Chain A
Amino acid sequence: MSDAPVIQLRAARIFQRENLVLDLVDLTVDKGEFIYLIGRTGTGKSSLMRTLYGDLPLREGEGQCCGFDLRKLRRGQVPYLRRKIGIVFQDFQLLGDRPVKENLLFVMKATGWTDRKRMDQRVAEVLEDVGLGTKGYKMPHELSGGEQQRVSIARALVNEPELILADEPTGNLDPETTGGILDLLYSLSRSGRCVLMATHDYTHMKKLNARVVRCQEGRLLEERMAG
């Protein structure tokens, strides 16, 4: 693995349709960093993340994510960019029609895994990592919110991504569960992955010492946590 930054944005302008939501964004994220992306709703946190995973085109400025040039990203490349990124959503985005294990296997089949034995092995590993070792056979609706979010984190981990983007992953969870999910995400950054997490839950944030970036009035501002 090279030492190039995982994310590098220079003078990037982030648009949501025709509206400029973030201007002159400069952001460099290195391997193994854990970063909070904070700011009120509507300040562009999600738009920034969606730009990083190719759901919004980067129209002005420079941008690079996991080795992909975001300005020159073609539609056909998007799936391959997303395989390098694990995305965790506020609303989990699990496939509700199949059990947990099939949710993970689906991602693996979709991203080119073929060896069934290794697939099963990897599923067991990531479920163990998120503390759901015995729940692979359950349907998503049979799980609690926290457990569902753990499944979505497990799914994000399946392809050993360099970057994990978590868009308000605890937004739908109670405080106790939130603590557990945060610990889990934080532990991932210590194993060398980079975690960028959008949140407006400041109470839990303080417990973990991390870099903080704030979206405010159309700009991205660097803040240092008083740990």
Chain B
Amino acid sequence: MERPYRRRTRTATVGTVVGIALVLFMLGVLGFLVLNARALDRYFKEHVRVDVFLKRGLKETDVMQFRKALDTEPWVLETRYVTADEAAERLKQDLGEDFLGVLGSNPLLASIELRLAATHAHPDSVQWVVEHLQQDPRTHEVAYNAAVVRNIQANMGKLGLAVLGFSILLLIIAVALINNTIRLAVYSQRFLIRTMHLVGATRWFIQRPFLGQSLWQGVLSAVLAIGLLVLTLRLALRAVPDLLAFTDAPTLALLFAAVLLLGLLISLASTWFAVRRYLRMSAEDVHWS
């Protein structure tokens, strides 16, 4: 019962908060998808493989030295040394018959398997890497699957563009929805704002309580949205256990922080513009607006 008259000036109604929270939740889900798309893109790019077949008769120490040199290159993510015996063993398993017995000797070359850094998975970069490796005297031949590299580039480019376009669209919708909700709440207070202005209150004095409320409104909405996100992720995790394979805890925390920041920013900005609108109006405009 304390100060009951304050209730009616309150613009941060349950409806407004829930409305904003739902929009923020939607943005959070989208953010999660974007993060996953990026992780997926990286995953594919880091699995581009280049095989460097070594010249026959290379000494073990030379191979080790070569491998070490490769490991320090910025475009190399990982190297693996595959001996000729290992290669033969693999092929045997792939073919399902003992071809060594047929041929009598092992025709296969030892190789170093490279996994490229995601940044160098572009077709042009791969081309450059291959040429660079081919010039090395220890190299017999360099092999990679050009089609895979090109496909990754093309498909991920398309996917990224689609996700980006969709994100921008949703962001615009979110801002518009939240802005509308807040404008309506402020609209209901327009005569109050007008009266405050007429009795000599400065603009800042009138805006301050509205902005304070919108700050709370933003925090509350964001907390609600994040709660909803966590709940949704948990439920989804039960159905798709690999859901979080591409996302780690810090990234998720960043996503939640972004949701909070966005909630605050949109809420504050909308309130500021909405209140300012009525401060700039003269009497009849307020009545006819």
Contacts and interface: CB of A to CB of B under 8 A. Distances in A.
Interface of A: 50, 53, 55-56, 76, 79-83, 87, 89, 93-99, 102, 106-107, 109-111, 139, 155, 159
Given A79-B203, A94-B195, 9 more contacts: A55-B283, A82-B198, A83-B200, A93-B198, A97-B6, A97-B8, A107-B201, A110-B202, A111-B200
B199 A107 contact: yes
24 contacts: A50-B282, A50-B283, A53-B198, A55-B282, A79-B197, A81-B200, A87-B198, A89-B198, A93-B195, A93-B198, A94-B195, A95-B192, A96-B8, A97-B5, A97-B8, A99-B5, A102-B5, A107-B200, A107-B201, A110-B196, A110-B201, A139-B5, A155-B199, A159-B200
A80 B5 contact: no
B36 to A, nearest CB: 48
Interface residues of B, number: 20
B99 interface: no
Contacts, number: 62
A97 B200 contact: no
A201 to B, nearest CB: 22
B192 A82 contact: no
Most buried by B among A76, A107, A155: A107
A169 to B, nearest CB: 14
B205 interface: yes
A94 B195 CA distance: 7
Nearest to B205: A110
Nearest to A81: B200
Contact of B200 (A55, A80, A98): A80
Contacts of B283: 50, 55
Contacts of A81: 200
B106 interface: no
Interface in B212-242: none
A110 B5 contact: no
A53 to B, nearest CB: 8
A80 B201 CA distance: 8
Most buried by B among A56, A111, A155: A111
Interface string B156-200: 000000000000000000000000000000000000101111111
Given A50-B283, A55-B282, A102-B5, A95 B195 contact: yes
B155 interface: no
A106 B201 CA distance: 9
A56 B205 CA distance: 22
A65 to B, nearest CB: 14
A56 B285 CA distance: 12
B5 A82 contact: no
A110 B6 CA distance: 17
Contacts of B205: 109-110
A50 B285 CA distance: 14
Contacts of A79: 197, 200-203
B9 interface: yes
Contacts of A109: 205
Interface string B39-54: 0000000000000000
A82 B196 contact: no
Nearest to A82: B200
Contacts of B6: 97-98
Contacts of A106: 196, 199, 201
B199 A110 contact: yes
Given A97-B9, A102-B5, A82 B199 contact: yes
A109 B9 CA distance: 17
A83 B202 CA distance: 10
Contacts of B192: 95, 97
Contacts of B8: 96-97
